[in-house]
Chain A
């Protein structure tokens, strides 16, 4: 061992002491042909962030990061995403950090606000054509789309402005569009991150609808399900299989990414359920008296109290530990209109224990299906549910600690649901890690900190 050091020291004399550390593991593709890469997914795959879609968001999507790394092991460009023209948000304004004046609290504070001078950019709504290789598109992700939306004819034209922009024929089914894109590109490798919206719509609506995973179509006879409900497991499974079959019709290898635990994202964890702070005994006594008159016993105390909420059956009660209040709850109404104290917080802003159980149970069931498909089809299975769970606890990457904390955590964008460019780069690295392991590849990782975080 010492000999090596001495040789090193001798070498220093000759080369004027300029050490260089060489790369010992060359990038390799392992068992996979990465030539043509296609990304299938929803808003998380499209690069949606800060409550909107922007061109810089698209250019910081995780498929963009993956392509850059895949290109080191044989992926061929260009990597085409249906880019927007504007960078201020489509079809609505993106959120930025800004100052707001609270008319009820009479103070100015800093936080996420809508892009102040937003006007819609007509060119964004025009049909997107890449103009490359028979209008090739590599990232076919559609914000908002669910697995159960794939068999719905006219989905793009009727329900989804993002899909409408770039679908070849918006009157057809998303599944037909995917078939067209696959035959057009002939992907040799694909990633598919589908399913989050099949539970998220229910969660962000504060748990409306049935929630059991057995919902019936909104209109009998049509395959159309309520956006504010959890997709039925049967329909989820059938359509996941259909999408997968089409995605693999050119024989591509790929990675299936599972559904995150949507209840651990800042959208649900930022406003504390016990955020009713009482500082005077008078407040305690009058609330006590109010609810005694209303006929039920509530226990209030000085300090932190659980909010008074309405559950989805219309009952007024006090929230219990573990229940979640949505980020979208109007703060002015809590501060100045007695929401959560003398009036209940409406059900649409509350996830109760039952609703949370519905979300978790169905996420688990759907992820079991995704995992089973990965096994059946010999595809890599990316456990993003677990990985994003570790971000909730905090992970440190090259000196930066990323957490799931709203705004300051660095991983989640200003909408509390989607990720920052850095968050998406972390996601890309987790996918790469899984691909490297499953396909015996040594694809280098992306440098997460090269990309923007929250802009203050």
Chain B
């Protein structure tokens, strides 16, 4: 009988994890500064990401490199317990540094055929709370990083039509920490256990694009990025628990799937006057292709069971708009904005992903000090409103507000 005293009950809450908040849209600096638009116009070698079909329209081989610094921050308060001021809190400051490198273009002057290679970060974010915050049993820290490698080919069928495609190999890491409600007999009253999960993931997909030059002043772009199933084969799970529960929570391995969602984009670019280009993009993101982060442990005990939280993501439509104005042969400036709706339904907003509808404004400049050589600087400011959310599965609710400021610098050189 007494053996059964420990043989029950879930003490780990499932991570829900991963969504729009972790998806980055920063793969090209000029596009970033134009609200994230870029399917219709081939600005530079970063079109390998935005529309592989545009690569064949570049003039010669280009080398492109950029780095960004993102500083996100999320504020939280639980209104009903907030008389105890300690519940109002903010995530711990972190800076993430995604980067992009592209090499590519038509293989010879005036060739219809182009090749290229892109290395970029489709996701690279995290959210770290104080270890003792109100939601610690759901999440203390989550970090998700990924890098894509995309060899690409592109072909200009006619002046009107060009196509392109790339194979995408993605590799990344996932790190999660949460407190466990298992207290030891020694030590202070309040002495949580902790679960730490670390895994490396990889997956493959593709990126296809078509670009149409309808008129001198009008271009269209269509792209499709496939879903990438990032699978973690043998991640490590470590549990800090009282000695008497060691056998209930053995350190073990886990496997999991982290799908990066498919995205279909329609883009329109217009150039009413030579100096001004305006772009509209509409992204349709297939978030509903997966329902949660499911973690399957290799060993199972009475306390250690596979983690899975229900989730009902909805697909989203993100409108983006941006403009590029060429002040002179040397200097251009960019401005843009987007409205990025959250894929997370109400009742499912977890503190490991306190996602909300986000307003994005962007701006930047490009300077061409030397022939063939361009320097880019871009800025993005993202913000949600203060939104009251609940995570019913975990019995957790509160008001969140997330803001992020991004600075990017890059250069490219045309051979």
A contact residues vs B (CB 8 Å cutoff): 2, 4-6, 8-13, 16-25, 27, 56, 69, 72, 96-97, 100, 102, 109-112, 271, 275, 331, 334-335, 395-401, 403, 405-410, 421, 443-447, 449-456
Interface segment out of the listed B103-111, B224-232, B258-266, B396-404: B396-404
Q: Which residue of B lies closest to A395 (CB)?
A: B395
Q: Given A11-B383, A23-B79, A69-B83: A455 and B184 within 8 A (CB)?
A: yes
Q: CA of A334 to CA of B136 in the docked complex: distance in angstroms?
A: 42
Q: How far is the CB of B240 from chain A (nearest CB, A)?
A: 13
A17 touches which of B1, B71, B395 (Cβ 8 Å): B71
> Would you call A455 and B185 a contact (CB within 8 A)?
yes
Q: Given A17-B405, A19-B73, A410-B181: A396 and B361 within 8 A (CB)?
A: no
Residues of B within 8 A of A407 (CB): 5-6
Residues of B within 8 A of A111 (CB): 2-3, 5
Residues of B within 8 A of A9 (CB): 359-361, 381-383, 403
Main SS at interface, chain A: mixed
> Would you call A399 and B244 a contact (CB within 8 A)?
no
> Would you call B1 and A5 a contact (CB within 8 A)?
no
Q: Given A8-B384, A11-B383, A111-B2: A399 and B79 within 8 A (CB)?
A: no
B contact residues vs A (CB 8 Å cutoff): 1-3, 5-6, 8-11, 13, 71-77, 79-88, 90, 134-138, 178, 181-185, 189-190, 241-242, 244-245, 337, 339, 357-361, 381-386, 393-396, 398-405
> Would you call B403 and A452 a contact (CB within 8 A)?
no
> Would you call B183 and A453 a contact (CB within 8 A)?
yes
Q: Which residue of B lies closest to A450 (CB)?
A: B190
Q: Given A6-B359, A110-B2: A409 and B9 within 8 A (CB)?
A: yes
Q: CA of A18 to CA of B92 in the docked complex: distance in angstroms?
A: 10
Q: How far is the CB of B404 from chain A (nearest CB, A)?
A: 6
Residues of B within 8 A of A72 (CB): 83-84
Q: Which residue of A lies closest to B393 (CB)?
A: A396
B183 touches which of A10, A334, A405, A456 (Cβ 8 Å): A456
> Would you call B189 and A444 a contact (CB within 8 A)?
no
Closest 10 CB pairs of A and B: A444-B83, A5-B359, A399-B137, A396-B395, A408-B9, A111-B2, A8-B383, A19-B75, A399-B138, A19-B401
Known: A12-B404, A19-B402. 6 other contacts (CB 8 A): A18-B73, A19-B74, A21-B77, A405-B9, A455-B183, A456-B241
A110 touches which of B6, B137, B359, B402 (Cβ 8 Å): B6
Residues of B within 8 A of A19 (CB): 73-75, 90, 383, 386, 401-403
> Would you call B82 and A23 a contact (CB within 8 A)?
yes
> Would you call A444 and B90 a contact (CB within 8 A)?
no
Q: Which of A19, A102, A403, A408 counts the most B-chain CB atoms under 10 A from its CB?
A: A19
> Would you call A453 and B77 a contact (CB within 8 A)?
no
Q: Given A27-B83, A410-B181: A17 and B77 within 8 A (CB)?
A: no
Q: Which residue of A lies closest to B401 (CB)?
A: A19
> Would you call B79 and A443 a contact (CB within 8 A)?
no
Residues of A within 8 A of B84 (CB): 72, 444, 446-447
Q: How far is the CB of A273 from chain B (nearest CB, A)?
A: 14
Q: Which residue of B lies closest to A406 (CB)?
A: B5
Residues of A within 8 A of B394 (CB): 396, 398-399
